[in-house]
Amino acid sequence: MALTQSGNLAIADILDTRITRLYAFCGVFLILSGMLLGDIFAVFILHPNNARIGDAVYAAAAAIPAGDTDAIMGHFQAIGAFLENRGTKVDAHSHGVAMGYLAVLLAILQPFVAWSTATKLRVAQAFVVCAITLPIAIFTIHYVGLAYSPFVAIGWASIAADAAGFAIAIFVAIHLMGLWRYWRNWRDDYDTADIERPDTLDRASRILFVGGSVLLLVGFLYGAAYAGYSEYTQSPNEVDILSSIVASAMERQSLDADFAAYGGYLAFRGINTAAHAHLNSMAILLLLLALIQPFVFLSDRWKSRWAIIMVVAAAALPVSILLEFKYGLIAGGMADTSGLAAMVALAAMLFGLARKTGALDSD
């Protein structure tokens, strides 16, 4: 690693290590893949699956007046499979993005981790394998099932996901120890250095940093308001609505009004949860991208343009999700478009990152 005259590591040189590049590329790749999966999941799986679950619950309730318990149990088995399908897709999306965030953060932290280069490289390679394995394993849980599993309830895909998660926790603990050694000045011959920040922060970083911080505060406020509303108001909860469905079925009354209430409740909960999660998730992405702007080898004008597009898309995504209450699929399309715009901006920054490493290599 090249040091400056003051003995510090210039920020552009942070990328001049195989280890940091490995984390950075793995991180941006995972974030992009996770977002792409989220978009595909929302369009092709989430809405059709919700409709199937609603239909199955309706069919189970309709079987109550006839006392057909076999039919009820059959419908609930189907519901279990639909829920597992949906749940594993959501988890693969969120874990892929979260592992991407973690990888980028570890890339930025590398100069402060006091281990030998060989140790850091081995940990980085193992981390990349596990970080990519985790969302893929979660995604395949629904399809692999319990085939050839030695356990009663847990299949091979779950075992792979758990093993990857456990290994990542160990790798984070190794980084923690490395940071501790750095701060304790344990030894001074490790592969570490202080980062010398540029004298002026470029416009793109400022746009992303301010946008991310404001969005994060809004996300916190929204989450607190939603939690307060659902915890401390007397709004009808799921058990009340299900009890009403059961009562109507036993009295052989129409189930339509109860199921309209149930659908409304599930939509309210799902949309609010998704809006809160995406507000915070996109805010974290903006903050991360603000930190890696010095590594992006594009002109200042284009960096600012991509940063503005990123901030607008990050704000538009949760707003579009919220608008689904009123505008349904139109707002859903807006949310997907916002996600796509964010992915394009992210891909442009990844391109700039690749150009930077190419330039460093040619030097």
Partner 1 sequence: MHLENRILILSGLSMIAMTMFFGVYYAVFDEHQTLVGMGVAMMNGFVEAAGGDRAAAYAALQQYGEIAAEYKREIHFHGHWGFLSLILILYGLVVHKLGYGRRARAGVAAGLATSATVFPLGVLLQIGPLALLGKVLAVLGTIGLLLAMFVIVIGVLRGHEPYHHS
Site residues for partner 1 per CB under 8 A: 60-61, 63-64, 66-69, 72-73, 76, 79-80, 83, 94, 98, 101-102, 105, 108-109, 112, 153-154, 158, 161-162, 165-166, 168-169, 172-173, 175-176, 179-180, 183, 197, 200-201, 206, 209-210, 213-214, 216-217, 220-221, 224, 227, 237-239, 242-243, 246-247, 249-250, 277, 280-281, 284, 287-288, 291
CB of 247 vs partner 1, minimal distance in Å: 7
Residue whose C-alpha is closest to residue 298's, from 234, 206, 221, 202: 202
CB of 182 vs partner 1, minimal distance in Å: 8
Neighbours of 256 (CB within 10 A): 10
How far is the C-alpha of 161 from the C-alpha of 130, rounded, in Å?
A: 9
Q: Which residue, 283 or 342, is less far from partner 1 as judged by CB?
A: 283
Cβ-proximal residues to 85 (8 Å cutoff; 6+ apart), any chain: 45, 49, 142
Q: Which residue, 161 or 313, is less far from partner 1 as judged by CB?
A: 161
CB-based burial, 151-170: b 16+ in 10 Å, e otherwise: eeeebbbbbbbeebbebbee
Q: Which residue type is seen at 323?
A: L
Q: Which residue, 52 or 355, is less far from partner 1 as judged by CB?
A: 52
Q: Which residue, 238 or 361, is less far from partner 1 as judged by CB?
A: 238
Q: Which residue, 16 or 68, is less far from partner 1 as judged by CB?
A: 68
Q: Compute and round to an integer the Cα radius of gyration of the chain.
A: 24
DSSP H helices, 8-116, are 18-41, 47-62, 69-109
DSSP type of residue 295 = G
How far is the C-alpha of 119 from the C-alpha of 194, rounded, in Å?
A: 20
Q: Which residue, 78 or 341, is less far from partner 1 as judged by CB?
A: 78
Contact criterion met (CB below 8 Å) for 211 and 286: yes
DSSP type of residue 188 = S
Q: Which residue, 105 or 312, is less far from partner 1 as judged by CB?
A: 105
CB of 357 vs partner 1, minimal distance in Å: 21
Q: Which residue, 50 or 337, is less far from partner 1 as judged by CB?
A: 50
Q: Which residue, 158 or 331, is less far from partner 1 as judged by CB?
A: 158
**Longest C-alpha distance within the chain, in Å?**
85
Hey, CA dihedral for 275, 343, 327, 43, is it positive or negative? negative
CB of 250 vs partner 1, minimal distance in Å: 5
CB of 18 vs partner 1, minimal distance in Å: 22
CB of 329 vs partner 1, minimal distance in Å: 27
Which H/E stretch holds residue 226? Answer: helix 203-232
CB of 330 vs partner 1, minimal distance in Å: 29
Ranges of beta strands (E only) in the chain are 9-10, 195-196
Measured at the CA of 162, the angle between CA 156 and CA 163, to 5 degrees, comes to 90
Q: What is the dihedral of CA 263, 266, 272, 273, to 10 degrees?
A: -150
CB of 180 vs partner 1, minimal distance in Å: 8
CB of 333 vs partner 1, minimal distance in Å: 27
